[in-house]
A = this chain, B = another copy of it.
C-alpha cells in the first residue's frame, strides 16, 4: 500500500524487541528487505524457523552491508563491540539507531565507530514484556507506547523525521529528549522499580534458604511455597518485572550508574524515614505519606485509562463490572 520507508533494515540482536520490531515493520510494509543478525546460533535458527527475516547473519559487518537502517537491539553492554565490528561497512547516509534503555551511552559507545555521513539517532521504545528471546516477540508490542528519540544537536533533521515516522507507523508516540534527561527519567520510572523488584524477590527467596539451614533451631520460618501461595497480597505485582532478562538489566544498571544511584539514595532515605516511623509508632507520619502520594497515583492510573498505555488491570476509576468488560491488552506492561 504505502511506499516503504526504508530499502533494507538490519536488526542486530534478535531478542524480544528485535524480533518484535522485525515483525512490526513487515506487517506495516515499512521496509523492502529485513536482515537479522545475532551472535547465537540457536537464536539465528529460531528466527529462520519463524521466517521473520529475509536473511539471518552471524557477522554484523556482513549484516549491515547495503542497509539504510541499522537497529542495535542487543543488551546495551554490547553496543561498543558491535559498532566496532560493523562500523566500516555501514553505507554513507544510513541511519543507525538502537532500542536500549539507557541513552547517554549510545553516543559514546557507538558514535566513534560510525563512518562519515551515517546518522546516529538513538531510540528507546518504552515497551516490553517479562519474556525473552525471538519467540517472545510480537508485532503489536509498540502500539500505544512511547518511543523516546535522543539525537545529538546537529544530527540531520530529515533522518530524525524518517526514523520517527517508522516508530509512528508501528503504533508508537514519539518524543524527543536529551540523553542525560532520558537517563534520569527512566532511572525513577523504570530502572529503580526493576532493581527494587529484583531485590524483594531475592529477599523472599532467601527466607526459605534459611529454613533448610536452621530448621532445627526454628520451625517457624516462612517457606517459598508460602510466599508463592499468598503472593496475591501484593508481592505478585513485583515478581513479573523481576522476571525480565538478567543480562539486559545488568547492563542497564552498569551503564546508568549515576542516575540509578541518585534515585536509589533518595528512595533509601524515604524508606528509612518510614522504618523509623514504624519503629516509633508514629501513625501520623505513615498516614500523611500514604495520603499525599495520591495525585501521582491517580495520574498514573488515569494515564493508563486514557489509553496511552495498554492497561493490565482495571484502572482506578473503573467499577469491577466495567473492568470485567475491558479489553485484554496484547502485552503485559512494558518491562523496560
Contacts and interface: CB of A to CB of B under 8 A. Distances in A.
Interface of A: 77, 101, 126-127, 129-131, 138, 140, 145-146, 148, 178, 180-181, 184-186, 188-207, 220, 222, 224-243, 246-247, 249-251, 253-254, 257, 260-261, 263-264, 266-268, 270-272, 274-275, 278-279, 281, 283, 286-287, 289-301, 303-304, 308-309, 312-314, 316, 319-321, 323-336
A314 to B, nearest CB: 6
B205 A309 contact: no
Contact of A316 (B194, B243, B266): B243
Contacts of A263: 203
Nearest to A219: B181
Closest 4 CB pairs of A and B: A190-B233, A246-B290, A193-B234, A312-B313
Contacts of A126: 230, 232-233
Contact of A205 (B253, B271, B272, B293): B293
10 contacts: A138-B319, A180-B220, A188-B203, A193-B237, A224-B295, A227-B300, A234-B241, A268-B271, A313-B329, A320-B331
B333 A236 contact: yes
B199 A270 contact: yes
A205 B191 CA distance: 16
A28 B304 CA distance: 35
